[in-house]
Structure 1
Amino acid sequence: MNKLKVMLLLGAMLGLSGCATGFNRLPYDAWYLGLGAPDFMEVWIETADAVDIHDRVFRRAMSGVAAINTPKSLKGDPRGWPERPGSGAGKHVRGADLPRLIYVRWQSLVEPQTYEAYIPIPENTQQAMIKGEKTYCQFDGKWITGYRNVVTVGLAPGGIARVWVMGPCLKPFDVARVQGIVVKLGPDSGRSGGRYALPLEPSSKAYIEKYGVPYGSW
């Protein structure tokens, strides 16, 4: 058996047995992958995949509608990013160790356009995710040891992906701004005949018609 086959076999065995053998050494059960978009800038996530530091792949860790605010009054402001972004719509990536790479393929419904982005998670971010910090939690009025166990990805028109890690009671840690690329096959890898997943909400459509898309603000 050649070296490559041995490595593939070992990787498969580790991927199957990681959770049961304590392969992951996180100070919490799982980290959360959440995705959001600026006000009115609606997004459909085709897939968000995660690769952990042991090169195990967790496909479709998240898919569907990103967290977004679409007020009927049109008083939202999609320009830029909030100082304290929310955790986003997502799921816990169970069985994974610290993330090494996040891959996202999404439909920017306001343009419309389909993008993909590869988001490397640097070592200093990984270390920030397992560093416990004493912090005051306003939710219950208690001092706790908190962890930044949430990875949030903000997706904006033009293929922009902005990434933070945060904890329920800890300030966000800015990770990266990544420029995605256009998926030439279009939505759903060409299987939908160019049809996008969802129509725009009436308030999003009205906002775009009145103010346009604030490219360059993200």
Structure 2
Amino acid sequence: MRLVISIHKSLLIIFCLLISACSVKHQVKSQQLSEWTVSTISPKYYTVRGDILLIEGETKQRGWRGMIGKATMESEQPLSWNELGRFHSGYFIESKELPRSLYIRWHSLANKKSYHKTVVVSDDLRNKMREYHDIRCGYYDLLLPYKNNILLGLAPDGMISVFLNGGCFDNELQFKVQAVEYKVVDDFVYPELSEEAQAYVDEHGVPVGIW
């Protein structure tokens, strides 16, 4: 009799464990990405000023418009994105709908040129953003399971490097696209570079085709 009771208890425990595992698995699968950012960064010393950012939703039934911020964050190196940080200036959006395209216009202070471009966000990139990863990181061991930031590296020659990252994920280059020079009004005045940045540009110039 005791053996039968013991077997029943064991079966009940196993059943409960299976139900719990299925419940957890269902919770993970049911989680959806509901907030994301589009951010910008420029090479060190080659400061840019974000002008406008237009985001079209994937269903084409909604969109977002915002300023990226007057001072775009800069990378750690002037001539590469190798040590690109995850922390940057960005535009935060709270929505389960992801972007279909991004229109960006910005001013390069180093060579006093302006650029604009529509960047198409593919299904593949959106799928990467929605993919759930059971990963924790940081001092507080936070669960940050999504690659939910599209980072646009804006070079002074108009090249845009499109990265994907997240709180627990390093930058992953997705593709590059060349922006088109934008004709500003005749009386437009470009802001001045900092003294340190201007000294660097005076010595090294503004390279083309290296970012």
**TM-score interval for Structure 1 and Structure 2 normalised by the shorter chain:** 0.7 to 0.9
1:36 aligns with 2:41: yes
Counterparts in 2 of 1:137-156, with a 5 A limit? 137-141=137-141, 144=143, 146-156=145-155
Partners of 2:166 and 2:95 lie apart in 1 by 19
Counterparts in 2 of 1:77-96, with a 5 A limit? 77-82=77-82, 84-95=84-95
Q: Is the 8 A contact 2:103 2:118 kept in 1?
A: yes
**1:151-201: CA deviations, max 9, x gaps?**
1111011111111111100233322211000112x1xxx2x71312x2111
Partners of 1:92 and 1:174 lie apart in 2 by 20
- Aligned match of 2:171: 172
- Give me the identity figure in percent: 23
1:193 aligns with 2:187: yes
Counterparts in 2 of 1:113-152, with a 5 A limit? 113-141=113-141, 144=143, 146-152=145-151
Larger radius of gyration: 2
Tell me the C-alpha RMSD between the 2 structures: 2.2
**1:98-154: CA deviations, max 9, x gaps?**
111111100001001010011111111100101011224133346x36101111111
Q: Is the 8 A contact 1:26 1:130 kept in 2?
A: no
Aligned pair in 2 of structure 1 residues 95, 141: CA closer, same or farther (>3 Å)? closer
Deviation at 1:214, TM superposition (A): 2.8
SS state at 2:74 partner: coil
Aligned pair in 2 of structure 1 residues 178, 133: CA closer, same or farther (>3 Å)? same
Deviation at 1:60, TM superposition (A): 1.8
Deviation at 1:85, TM superposition (A): 3.5
- Aligned match of 2:182: 183
Deviation at 1:82, TM superposition (A): 2.2
Q: Is the 8 A contact 2:102 2:119 kept in 1?
A: yes
Partners of 1:38 and 1:84 lie apart in 2 by 9
Aligned pair in 2 of structure 1 residues 128, 61: CA closer, same or farther (>3 Å)? farther
- What amino acid does structure 2 have at the position aligned with 1:54? T
SS state at 1:81 partner: coil
- What amino acid does structure 1 have at the position aligned with 2:35? A
* Count of aligned positions: 181
Deviation at 1:62, TM superposition (A): 2.5
- What amino acid does structure 2 have at the position aligned with 1:180? A
Partners of 1:31 and 1:204 lie apart in 2 by 31
SS state at 2:102 partner: strand
Partners of 1:156 and 1:96 lie apart in 2 by 30
Deviation at 1:211, TM superposition (A): 1.6
- What amino acid does structure 2 have at the position aligned with 1:182? E
Partners of 1:81 and 1:49 lie apart in 2 by 24
SS state at 1:140 partner: coil
Q: Which has the higher helix share?
A: 2
Aligned pair in 2 of structure 1 residues 138, 117: CA closer, same or farther (>3 Å)? same
